[in-house]
Amino acid sequence: MKLFFALNLALAALFFASPAHAQATGRADPAKPLAITLVATTQYATHDFYAHTTDRVGPDFRGTTRIFPGQRIDLVVLAQNYALNTASRAALVYDLTITYPGGSSQSAGHDLRLCVGPVPDAGLLAYASQTASFSTDPGDPLGTYTFTVTARDRVANDTLTKTVTLQVVPYIEPPLPADFDPVLWMVSYYLNPSPALALPALFKIAAVIPKDNTDAWPPILGFYEELLKANPWLTPVFQARLKNASPADRTLLEFVLGYAWRHDPAFAGQNQARWPDVDTGDLNDPMQLDVLWGRFFATGAFAPVERISSALRMHACLGALDKFKVASPHATAPSPEVMKELVLKSAQWSLGRNARVHPLVRRYCAWLLAQKDPDTEFDALLTTAIPVDAPLSDKPAVFFPRPSSP
């Protein structure tokens, strides 16, 4: 069993001393009690959904009740209608207990930080400062795992318990639905992750997109790179298929695995294609943007959108194509400046297109603009890219407590 805790927003301390009890000023709704939500999810970017959106309104959390051996789940805890003291501060902590197949139980965390410190609005849903992730190890039993959160509101001296139950089951490759659309599955994956379909979906994709179609594969490679990294239990599943694969299927699997694990010596030589790096330096090839969009579709994370938007900072190259045509009318290859201008315009177009299809992209862009970047040309280009006909909420729905002594 693997169990680890993450501190959101780069929080510094795992635990805190018990605060002195303070006078309560009541709840947002005095007629209702403390409410706690516990979600076991395979949406690993839920924090991004709210931390990088100005209105803190993101996609719905999708809980899960079934996982496979080695698959990770995040245990997200949220609180509502908690009490504040006279200084408008909350003091919410929780304990986490795991009950294993067979009935034995173990304390997995005590006095984990839920919401401790000043609260800007008592009506906000508080996303726990400290969250747990869980996965089984080889040899751990299959069966029912129960996770119990006991939350304590130290201002109101209240206690509330919530549980979620998960079935850990062996992986068996499922058949694809008759109406399965691999493109729709891929671009909406982050809204409702279904990694069990990853392998059959790949073959479905390959049936309609030849491997030598260089324009089509970068987003697919970026997607599968993130999917496999988030679900390392799937890599042995892909490798097992290699043992009896046809030559065409073997080429496809090595192509995808070789790219996803291209920095791992164990996969050296499986993918001979040379795709441009997307993680360092300036973006200088439109294929890099496609890889990054594939990463976003797989996760819903903020980082790929931020990286794509960074292309707009190359605005010094605007006009490079016109200058190049005049200076080098017979050239057969574009200059580096021309490529940067092409990438900038491609990034601007793709941000706008995806912001219209994915409200989360629109919200990430709005968050970037709200940072008041000193690069005013960057802000102007990003503003031009995103649609104005998709209004955002005017009030945050979720807030993220930071560490503070109550």
Cα 16 to Cα 21: distance, rounded to the nearest angstrom:
14
Question: What is the share, in percent, of the chain residues with pLDDT greater than 70?
Answer: 85
Given this model, what pLDDT does residue 8 score?
53
Q: How confident is the prediction for the chain on average, in pLDDT?
A: 85
Q: Are residues 60 and 37 in the same domain?
A: yes
Q: Are residues 356 and 226 in the same domain?
A: no
Q: Are residues 46 and 85 in the same domain?
A: yes
Given this model, what pLDDT does residue 320 score?
78
10 has pLDDT over 50? no
Given this model, what pLDDT does residue 161 score?
97
Q: Are residues 257 and 310 in the same domain?
A: no
Q: Are residues 166 and 61 in the same domain?
A: yes
Q: Are residues 138 and 16 in the same domain?
A: yes
Mean pLDDT check: name the lowest of 3-12, 134-143, 310-319: 3-12
* Residues 211/217, Cβ–Cβ less than 8 Å: yes
How many domains does the chain contain in total?
A: 3
Is residue 403 a part of any domain in this protein?
no
Counting beta carbons within 10 angstroms of the beta carbon of residue 246, is it exposed (0 to 12), middle (13 to 18) or buried (19 or more)? exposed
Confidence of residue 55 (pLDDT cuts 50, 70, 90): confident
Q: Are residues 320 and 348 in the same domain?
A: yes
19 has pLDDT over 50? no
Buried b or exposed e, range 14-41, using 16+ CB within 10 angstroms: eebeebeebebeebeeeeeebbbbbbbb
Count other Cβ atoms within 10 Å, centred on residue 275: 18
Confidence of residue 21 (pLDDT cuts 50, 70, 90): very low
Q: Are residues 80 and 13 in the same domain?
A: yes
Give the CATH number, domain containing residue 109.
2.60.40.3880
Alpha-carbon distance values, 260 to 227, 231, 233, 253 (Å): 9, 12, 14, 11
Confidence of residue 43 (pLDDT cuts 50, 70, 90): very high
Q: Are residues 42 and 143 in the same domain?
A: yes
pLDDT tens track for 220-239: 999 999 999 999 999 999 99
Looking at residues 281-294, what average pLDDT do you find?
92
Counting beta carbons within 10 angstroms of the beta carbon of residue 111, is it exposed (0 to 12), middle (13 to 18) or buried (19 or more)? middle
Looking at residues 253-272, what average pLDDT do you find?
81
pLDDT tens track for 82-118: 999 989 999 999 999 999 999 999 999 999 999 999 9
Looking at residues 52-80, what average pLDDT do you find?
90
Domain-ending residue, one of 112, 144, 170: 170
Q: Are residues 87 and 214 in the same domain?
A: no
Instruction: For residue 111, give both structure tokens.
Output: 């006095």
pLDDT tens track for 113-163: 999 999 888 888 899 999 999 999 999 999 999 999 999 999 999 999 999
Cα 314 to Cα 316: distance, rounded to the nearest angstrom:
5
Q: Are residues 309 and 199 in the same domain?
A: no
Confidence of residue 381 (pLDDT cuts 50, 70, 90): very high
Is residue 406 a part of any domain in this protein?
no
Confidence of residue 333 (pLDDT cuts 50, 70, 90): low
Given this model, what pLDDT does residue 373 score?
84
* Residues 93/114, Cβ–Cβ less than 8 Å: yes
Cα 369 to Cα 321: distance, rounded to the nearest angstrom:
28
Given this model, what pLDDT does residue 173 score?
94
Is residue 401 a part of any domain in this protein?
no
* Secondary structure (3-state) at 307: helix
Looking at residues 237-246, what average pLDDT do you find?
92
Q: Which domain holds residue 361?
A: 286-385
Confidence of residue 50 (pLDDT cuts 50, 70, 90): confident
Looking at residues 22-29, what average pLDDT do you find?
66
Is residue 392 a part of any domain in this protein?
no
Q: Are residues 305 and 194 in the same domain?
A: no
Q: What is the pTM of this model?
A: 0.87
Looking at residues 260-273, what average pLDDT do you find?
76
* Residues 82/75, Cβ–Cβ less than 8 Å: no
Given this model, what pLDDT does residue 403 score?
38
* Residues 397/55, Cβ–Cβ less than 8 Å: yes
Confidence of residue 25 (pLDDT cuts 50, 70, 90): low
Given this model, what pLDDT does residue 396 score?
44
